[in-house]
Amino acid sequence: MNREATDLPIAPAGEKPTLRSLAEATGFSIATVSRALADDPRIAAKTRALVAEAAALAGYVPDRAARRLRTGRTQVVTLLLNTQHEFLGFTHEFLSGMTEALQGTGYSVNVVPDDVGDDRLAPVRNILRNHLADGVVFTRTEAFDPRVRLLMENDFPFVSHGRTEFTTPHPFVDFDNEAFARQAVQRLVGKGRTRLSLILPEDRFTFTQHLRYGFVSEARAAGVDHEIVDGVTLDSPAARIAETLRASRLGDNPPDGYVCVGEVTALVTLSALADSDAVLGRDADVFAKRASPIFDNIRPRIDTVFEDLRETGRKMAEMLLRRMQGEDPATLTHMLMPDFERLHHSPDTHA
Amino acid sequence: MNREATDLPIAPAGEKPTLRSLAEATGFSIATVSRALADDPRIAAKTRALVAEAAALAGYVPDRAARRLRTGRTQVVTLLLNTQHEFLGFTHEFLSGMTEALQGTGYSVNVVPDDVGDDRLAPVRNILRNHLADGVVFTRTEAFDPRVRLLMENDFPFVSHGRTEFTTPHPFVDFDNEAFARQAVQRLVGKGRTRLSLILPEDRFTFTQHLRYGFVSEARAAGVDHEIVDGVTLDSPAARIAETLRASRLGDNPPDGYVCVGEVTALVTLSALADSDAVLGRDADVFAKRASPIFDNIRPRIDTVFEDLRETGRKMAEMLLRRMQGEDPATLTHMLMPDFERLHHSPDTHA
DNA sequence: TGACAGAATTAAAACGTTATAAATCCGGGT
DNA sequence: ACCCGGATTTATAACGTTTTAATTCTGTCA
């Protein structure tokens, strides 16, 4: 019945501290200890302090399984991972950002493949049915993404990377791809380029439309020729993209300005140019979006704009936390702007 | 008390099936249902069949929290993620491989950052103390890796990516970096190169020693000059590596053959060559290890060997499963060979 | 002196499993 | 009929929490 903090027993080496052991150590009941740790105002302040001290001393950490069983809350957030396609370094940066934001919150990150088998919704259904997580995060969002629909129907917390065209608002984090496309066009036009070319992601992704709109309307405004490459998408095999680009360079009036949405596409474009003996800066220019630092080390240098995926992951985790705490989904949206500060003007690393 | 499989009640829409609901549906007790689902031979075969059918019909899935609380097994494996450095695409491929191998096993993958704060062992201690997982997987293994030591002391299942120099054997999956280094030297020597250069990872990693040994002994055997670049490592900022390489090219007798252990290093090397007006194939050659497909799209083309990180993740997860099932740790080792089949002989994508 | 309200604490149930120990069933031998 | 043993089945406790509904304390006021 020891209630003096000074002579509490030290943590026994072998067995892990539990509410019961804390109760025995402090002389209070399990219920009181539980409430005290939750800072319940119904518990006397002195008691709360005593219990807190005992818990710290013993290194008490609540058992996740027990809490989860009792409350139904898993303290887990799931990332739906597309295991096939990736922007270079995407997964790494994104995950790092997520874990960073979740650090110290008690939530842990669970990774589930989003593209196995025929039923595209199976992973989400599985999570919903068996309450495998308290929230979900995913990428490659489509205009009418079935995952979004299903999650909204079930009022389940989630944050999508990318917007949808559903009327009901939902939390998302997105990169302003329209602004990127516009800027890319402006840059190329500024260099005197008049025949622009763009390879788009697959049509079903929402950001494809944003890219298209930004590209087309800005090119029209500038009064320059522009084409969206037919027959291939960002997800096409690199070899096929290369093939298509090389073929296009054999035409009468090949493009002289390339907007590249991904790093791989940019590299393919560069090699297609090299393969057809076109010289960068003379025959054509390339403007690309980058998410990794590799372009710093590639010759010839090209202009790039940075999409911060670590920040994206961080923001998405933050919004998910707030959504799970019951904040209004409609307000939980965030747009990342093309990083003009860190715009990459082919810095000379000799300096 | 209905025991006929034919007219079992269908799964009620709202509430999730549980042992109790299955017991009510079949007329057996909870204990019997539990045992039947575990295929306990003490339960009559007919009963087992009946229960299995009812479970399937109801879509029963055991509650993870309850099972975890009762058994102490989490059904979780944790990947210790280094959030700072990455081989391009490493995390993505590795995780994809892991989830692939774990598909259908009931295990899920948890990602924990391995490099926050000052205490390098904190994540592992946290997992051990609070039994946050049944097994652990990590990369960037050191010769006397403290994580390995701690995990072994606690007899906790793990698989390391890379070997250690501890005498007690433990499960690992490793890439044969010595073989890679030897082959790289052979290739470069085969092209007539006589002054080879290598940038190593930090000394503390085990594979650094393997690379060094393979490189040095093969170069000696071939009787060619060779140097290990001083003052920088694979993890140095790309700019510093570039700086060092450019400086080295100004010397009397610059290297004419570069062995690159990572993609970024390879790119940096290429740009350093370009920056100092050296021509690949004439003034120097580069041989690199690649883990992503980007080299297919880089000009000038270089020879590369493929390290399959998806396969690595898959194998590590498989070994971990077997270790958790009690297999002898000493036998759970796997070496991945440099992929000679998929050796990249600068294929001409024009073909 | 009691009664009583509010403050503080607690007993006990529940979450869904698994596992120990005990109970029931059934057929065969006496 | 009766008992016995093996085959089945079951009641129950436990895992570590949270929370509902008491219960006990304390001091105040009639």
Average pLDDT over residues B77-85: 93
Query: How confident is the model at residue B86, as a pLDDT?
Result: 75
DSSP B272-309: HHHHTT--BTTTBEEEEEESSGGGGG-SS--EEEE--H
What is the CA angle B148-B154-B159, rounded to 5? 40
Whole-angstrom distance, CA of residue A313 vs CA of residue A320: 10
- Condensed to tens digits (0 to 9), the pLDDT of residues B189-217 reads 999 999 999 999 999 999 999 999 999 99
Q: What is the reported pLDDT for B6?
A: 34
Residue type, B264: V
Cα atoms in the Cβ-side hemisphere of radius 13 Å centred on B11: 16
| Structure tokens, B271 | 């740009």
pLDDT, position A9: 39
Q: Where are the domains of chain B?
A: 5-62, 71-175+310-335, 177-307
**Percent of chain A predicted with pLDDT > 90:** 80
Q: CB-CB: which of A110, A238, A271 is closest to B109?
A: A110
* pLDDT, position A340: 61
User: Across chain B, what does the average pLDDT equal?
Assistant: 90
Distance (Å, rounded) from C-alpha B283 to C-alpha B305?
22
The DSSP output letter for B6 is G
A43 CA vs D28 C1’ separation (Å): 22
**Residue bearing tokens 């003096």:** A4
**SS3 call for A109:** strand
Q: Does B69 touch chain A (CB under 8 A)?
A: yes
Closest alpha carbon to B175 in B310, B308, B63: B308
Q: Mind listing the pLDDT tens digit for each residue in B288-325?
A: 998 887 777 777 888 999 999 999 999 999 999 999 99
The end-to-end CA distance of chain B, in Å, is: 71
Phi-psi region of B178 (alpha: psi -120 to 50; beta: other; left: phi over 0): alpha
The conformation of residue A60, written as its DSSP 8-state character, comes to -
Q: What is the DSSP string of A131-165?
A: T--SEEEE-S-BTT-HHHHHHHHTT--EEEES---
pLDDT digits (tens, 9 = 90+) for B218-275: 999 999 999 999 999 999 988 899 999 999 999 888 999 999 999 889 989 998 998 8
- B117 or B75: which carries more pLDDT confidence? B75
Does A296 contact chain B (CB < 8 Å)? yes
What are the tens digits of pLDDT across the range B89-126? 889 999 999 999 999 999 999 999 998 888 999 999 99
Q: How many CB atoms lie within 10 A of CB B28?
A: 21
CA angle B207, B213, B217 (to 5 degrees): 155
Chain B residues touching A96 at Cβ < 8 A: 81, 83, 113
pLDDT score, position A8? 36
* Spatial distance between the Cα atoms of A131 and A134, rounded to a whole number of angstroms: 7
Burial class for A146, CB neighbours closer than 10 Å (0-12, 13-18, 19+): exposed
Task: Determine if the peptide bond prior to B113 is cis (ω within 30°).
Answer: no
Burial grade of B88 (CB within 10 A; 0-12, 13-18, 19 or more): buried
- Work out if B18's Cβ lies within 7 angstroms of strand C: yes
Residue at the smallest CA–C1' distance to nucleotide D19: A31
- Amino acid identity of residue B193, one-letter, is R
Q: Say yes or no: B324 contacts chain A, CB-CB below 8 A.
A: no
**pLDDT higher at A14 or B141:** B141
Cα separation, A24 vs A31, whole angstroms: 12
Beta bridge partners of B347: none
Q: pLDDT band for position B88 (50/70/90)?
A: confident
Same fold, A71-175+310-337 and A177-307: yes
Would you call A298 and B267 a contact, using CB atoms and an 8 Å cutoff?
yes
What 3-state DSSP class applies to A64?
helix
The average pLDDT across B119-136 equals: 95
Estimate to the nearest angstrom the gap between the alpha carbon of A11 and the chain centroid.
41
Residue B235 structure tokens: 């993890």
In whole angstroms, give the CA distance from residue A98 to residue A79: 9
Tell me how far CA of residue B103 lies from CA of B79, B99, B108, in angstroms: 16, 6, 8
Q: What is the dihedral of CA A214, A216, A220, A226, to 10 degrees?
A: 130
Query: Using an 8 Å Cβ cutoff, are B264 and A294 in contact?
Result: yes
**Burial track B203-215 (b if 16+ CB lie within 10 A, e otherwise):** eebbbbbbbbebb
Please report the sign of the dihedral spanned by the C-alpha atoms of residue B212, residue B215, residue B217, residue B219: negative
Tell me the angle at which helices A90-102 and B90-102 cross, rounded to the nearest 10 degrees.
80
Whole-number percent of chain B with pLDDT over 70: 93
pLDDT of B3:
37
> Interhelix angle for B19-26 vs B45-58, to 10°?
120
Domain B177-307: CATH architecture, name and number where available: 3-Layer(aba) Sandwich (3.40)
Show Cβ contacts of residue B104 under 8 Å, excluding neighbours closer than 6 positions. none
- What is the fold, at CATH topology level, of the domain defined by A71-175+310-337? Rossmann fold (3.40.50)
- Write out the H or E segment, with its range, that includes residue B113: strand B108-113
Give the pLDDT of residue A85.
Answer: 79
CA distance A349 to A275: 27
Coil, strand or helix at B196:
strand
User: pLDDT tens digits for chain A (351 residues)?
Assistant: 333 333 333 344 457 899 999 999 999 999 999 999 999 999 999 999 999 999 999 999 999 999 999 999 999 999 999 998 777 788 999 999 999 999 999 999 999 999 888 899 999 999 999 999 999 999 999 999 999 999 999 999 999 999 999 999 999 999 999 999 999 999 999 999 999 999 999 999 999 999 999 999 999 999 999 999 999 999 998 889 999 999 999 988 899 999 999 988 998 999 899 889 999 999 999 999 988 877 777 778 889 999 999 999 999 999 999 999 999 999 999 999 987 655 444 333 332
Q: Do B223 and B163 meet the contact criterion of CB atoms below 8 Å apart? A: no
Positions of chain D reached by protein Cβ under 7 A: 7-12, 14-21
Task: Determine the residue of chain B that is closest to A349 in CA distance.
Answer: B239
> B5-62 — its CATH code?
1.10.260.40
* pLDDT the model gives residue B346: 39
Cis peptide before A293 (omega within 30 of 0): no
Query: CB less than 7 Å from strand D: which protein residues?
Result: A 16, 18-20, 30-31, 34-35, 37-38, 60, 62-63, 66-67, 69-71; B 27-32, 35, 42-44, 47, 66, 69-70
Q: In degrees rounded to 5, what are phi and psi of residue B150?
A: -65, -45
Residue numbers in A near B246 (CB within 8 A): 350
Q: What pLDDT is recorded for position B295?
A: 79
Predicted local distance difference test score (pLDDT) of residue A341: 54
DSSP letter at A280? Answer: B
DSSP code at position B16: P
Torsion angle (degrees, nearest 10) of CA A189, A193, A199, A201? -10
Q: What is the pLDDT of residue A87?
A: 76
Task: Tell whether B90 lies on the interface with A, counting CB pairs under 8 A.
Answer: yes
Cβ proximity of A185 and A198 under 8 Å: no
| Domain B71-175+310-335 falls under CATH 3.50.50.60 | no
What is the pLDDT averaged over residues B154-166?
97
